[in-house]
Amino acid sequence: MSEEIKMQFGKTVEKWGVFEVCCEGISEGNPFTERQIRGIFRGEHECVCADGFYDGNGIYKVRFMPSFEGTYSFEIEGNYDQGLCQADENEKKQGSFEVTAPSENNHGPVRVANTFHFAYEDGRPYYSIGTTCYVWDLQSDERIAETLDSLKNSAFNKIRFCVFPKHYDYNLGEPRSYPYEGTPMDSGVLTKENFNDYTFKTEGNHFDYTRFNPAHFAHVEWCISRLMELGIEADLIMMHPYDRWGFCTMTKEQDDLYWNYAVARFSAFRNVWWSFANEYDLFPTKTFEDWERYASIVCEKDPYHHLRGIHNCRPFYDHNRPWITHCSIQRQDIYKTSELVNEWRERYKKPVVLDEIAYEGNIQHGWGNISPEEMTRRFWECACRGGYPGHGETYMNEDDVLWWSHGGKLHGESWKRFELLHRIMCETPGLGLEPWRNCGWDEVAAVPEKEFMQPVKSYYLFYYSFMRPSFRDYYFDDTTEYEVNVIDTWEMTIEKRGTFKGHFRIELPGKSYMAVQVKKR
């Protein structure tokens, strides 16, 4: 494991890479609760104080993600060695290192670039095309390799997944490891019929919620790193209510210990996003104050200010809370979700990420059986309203391996269409699309976000959703020349129609799912 993470103590590290310091320390007692370690990292342009963590076997680690090139120095402190560093003091307690230029595909962490949109820290726009595989990271090596291969061949640049294992319909198996020391209940008693009787129950489990299993976290980090290599953001679901092990009903102190530990471990990975919860409103005991306390831990302890969101089942968390960087939304309505992006943009003045707009598939649950056409429609509809859509797949199969939960192979049809959408999103002048207020009542149309407004009337993207016009008439002004492309979002074709000005008509095939791209010449 460890050699696969870029731990570059005493060497160079690239900008936005992970620099890691390992120290030997005390392993007696409970190092997780009794010991602290932290590092102070100083470069010409920043000074970062980062908590470290106990990684088991007497080893403590401190990680750091530099945001600038040049020479850095560091110091390590804490009671992890009772004041006696077990290693050579010059090498381990303090040191210096060089930060080199980022490698080609390293653009830094994703930030809210301005109000509604994202960009990497180097300024490159980030147009999010997400998917969800809740516990792909906790499957077998073979399945994980398969998932990474699927992701590599897709347009996905964000994936939501969990740190804790998942107990839910189609997800009754044991995870590859547990986040805590201990033993789980006997899952042999579980059936598709009775599994819900065990949700939120802790009987039969023997976990010590004050002693982490470092190998579990190291494995999650390995997954984060593989995603990083693929240019995919790791939207870490830190807590979720699909639980039979007691992980979602720990005490406040145990929760806080977890958040501190996870933040110390994960923050230095540039592609991490903090998804505080999946369906925060389904936890049996957690209160608003709990979520706000976790937020205060993350805001204080994550030196890099990774993106922070919290996902709902029914009512939204108040996305106006200042710690929330973007709206992470599960649909509120069976029929409309992407269509509400305009409203949510207005209400929250933050990027709107539709992390769950139902999944393509055919399982019995209404959240998991929309068609690929409808999923693709929701993606375009969301994107053309200035939001960011998310995918998932829930196709029944003999092995009960569903992408939505386990990863593996993609069986659907919608994912194939997202590369085209992403390509079109990336053609937006400036950064990001906003809904065009002057469009027809019967069309969705986007223009470049006004914050980044190119010369006006530079670019329009029309989307006709399920409607099937045989033609549409356009008029912007009398003199500007526009190039017009007709996009079949389902068939994945782009037809160049030539140059137009003044009043002009574009013939369309009278099919659903057509888009028209209008670019100033």
Determine the interface stretch with a copy of itself among 15-23, 383-391, 435-443, 494-502 (rule: CB under 8 A).
435-443
335 binds a copy of itself (CB under 8 A): yes
343 binds a copy of itself (CB under 8 A): no
> Smallest distance, Å, CB 396 to a copy of itself?
5
Determine the interface stretch with a copy of itself among 47-55, 409-417, 425-433, 438-446 (rule: CB under 8 A).
438-446
The crossing angle, in degrees rounded to 10, of helices 418-426 and 372-383 is: 10
11 binds a copy of itself (CB under 8 A): no
Instruction: Give the count of residues interacting with a copy of itself (CB under 8 A).
Output: 32
- Residues 288/325, Cβ–Cβ less than 8 Å: no
Element (H, E) at 426: helix 418-426
440 binds a copy of itself (CB under 8 A): yes
Pick one of 363, 454, 458, 494: the residue that binds a copy of itself (CB under 8 A): 363
Q: Cβ atoms within 10 A of the Cβ of 248, count? A: 23
365 binds a copy of itself (CB under 8 A): yes
How far apart (Å, rounded) are the C-alpha atoms in residues 34 and 198? Answer: 33
Pick one of 399, 441, 479, 498: the residue that binds a copy of itself (CB under 8 A): 441
> Smallest distance, Å, CB 167 to a copy of itself?
20
443 binds a copy of itself (CB under 8 A): yes
> Smallest distance, Å, CB 489 to a copy of itself?
15
Sheet holding 110-114, edge to edge: 110-114, 117-120, 125-126
Determine the interface stretch with a copy of itself among 17-25, 223-231, 242-250, 335-343 (rule: CB under 8 A).
335-343
284 binds a copy of itself (CB under 8 A): no
How far apart (Å, rounded) are the C-alpha atoms in residues 245 and 248? Answer: 8
Pattern 473-502, a copy of itself, x by CB under 8 A: x-----------------------------
For 208, the token pair is: 């010590």
For a copy of itself, give the closer residue by CB, 169 or 290: 169
- Bridging pattern class, strands 308-309 and 327-330: unpaired
For a copy of itself, give the closer residue by CB, 72 or 463: 463
Q: Residue by residue, what is the 3-state secondary structure of 456-498? A: CCCEEEEECCCCCCCEEEECCCCCCCEEEEEEECCCCEEEEEE
How far apart (Å, rounded) are the C-alpha atoms in residues 516 and 489? Answer: 10
- Residues 170/402, Cβ–Cβ less than 8 Å: yes
What are the DSSP calls for 345-372, one per residue? HHHH-S-EEEEES--EE-SSSGGG-B-H
How far apart (Å, rounded) are the C-alpha atoms in residues 435 and 384? Answer: 7
For a copy of itself, give the closer residue by CB, 19 or 359: 359
**Alpha-carbon distances of 375 from 282, 352, 423, 444, rounded to whole Å:** 25, 17, 18, 16
In angstroms, the first-to-last Cα distance of the chain is: 52
196 binds a copy of itself (CB under 8 A): no
> Smallest distance, Å, CB 479 to a copy of itself?
21
339 binds a copy of itself (CB under 8 A): yes
- Bridging pattern class, strands 388-391 and 327-330: unpaired
Instruction: Provide the 3-class DSSP secondary structure of residue 269.
Output: coil
Give residues 366-385 in contact with a copy of itself (rule: CB under 8 A): 366-367, 369-371, 374
For a copy of itself, give the closer residue by CB, 11 or 503: 503
How far apart (Å, rounded) are the C-alpha atoms in residues 224 and 426? Answer: 25
Upper half-sphere CA count for residue 434 (Cβ side, 13 Å): 23
Pattern 452-471, a copy of itself, x by CB under 8 A: -------------xxxxxxx
Pick one of 336, 349, 457, 496: the residue that binds a copy of itself (CB under 8 A): 336
Determine the interface stretch with a copy of itself among 93-101, 134-142, 301-309, 331-339 (rule: CB under 8 A).
331-339
Cα torsion for 71, 77, 81, 87, to the nearest 10°? 20
| Residue (of 334, 329, 261, 335) closest to 298 by Cα position | 261
Determine the interface stretch with a copy of itself among 2-10, 15-23, 202-210, 328-336 (rule: CB under 8 A).
328-336
Pick one of 47, 145, 189, 334: the residue that binds a copy of itself (CB under 8 A): 334
Q: Which residues bind a copy of itself (CB under 8 A)?
A: 333-336, 339, 361-367, 369-371, 374, 396, 440-443, 465-473, 510, 512
